[in-house]
Structure 1
């Protein structure tokens, strides 16, 4: 069975749709910038969490999600959950 993968492009799409993210804000060079530094407030991130969970049929731990303060960390968290769901 092929494992699904959550990519930077997937995250950008979800942030654009759910949080109204400016496409210019989200570049490969911003992978390690915090969501706060990128201008995302907590409500936007909660909407992002909700959209990821629905779209990928996973449940993300709130504590782990809170600790994923950068796009790179969130992508890793989602992929970890996706991989454990398939295993």
Structure 2
């Protein structure tokens, strides 16, 4: 299974309710999802799509551990590596 990259994460994020005024093409990697316009339900939707596309199971506390795109990438890629 391939690692999750920022461009793929951005593609998923665009399908999960981002405000049109948010520029996901900018330097967002360390910007909290909340400041990017994503509430907890939108982040849960992102997590659900990542679980399906990368065949990983994210724990209930994943929401607490993934406050930024970088944290989400690290979390999912660690799960991918553990499953390999």
**Shorter-chain-normalised TM-score: which range?**
0.7 to 0.9
Do structure 1's residue 79 and structure 2's residue 77 form an aligned pair?
yes
- Indicate which of 47, 53, 56 corresponds to 2:54: 56
Query: After alignment, is 5-14 or 21-30 more displaced?
Result: 21-30
In the alignment, the residues of structure 1 paired with residue 60 and residue 25 of structure 2 have an alpha-carbon distance, to the nearest angstrom, of 25
Aligned pair count reads 83
Normalised by the length of structure 2, the TM-score is 0.87
Q: Which structure 1 residue ranges, 5 or more long, are not aligned?
A: none
Q: Which structure 2 residue ranges, 5 or more long, are not aligned?
A: none
Normalised by the length of structure 1, the TM-score is 0.84
Q: Structure 1 residue runs of 4+, over 6 Å off?
A: none
Once the two structures are TM-superposed, the CA of residue 29 in structure 1 deviates from its matched residue by 1.4
Q: Deviations over 1:45-79 (max 9, x none)?
A: 11111110011111011213322100000000000
RMSD across aligned C-alpha pairs, in angstroms? 1.7
Q: Deviations over 1:24-56 (max 9, x none)?
A: 522351111100111101111111111100111
- Indicate which of 14, 17, 39 corresponds to 1:20: 17
Instruction: Name the structure with the higher helix share.
Output: 1
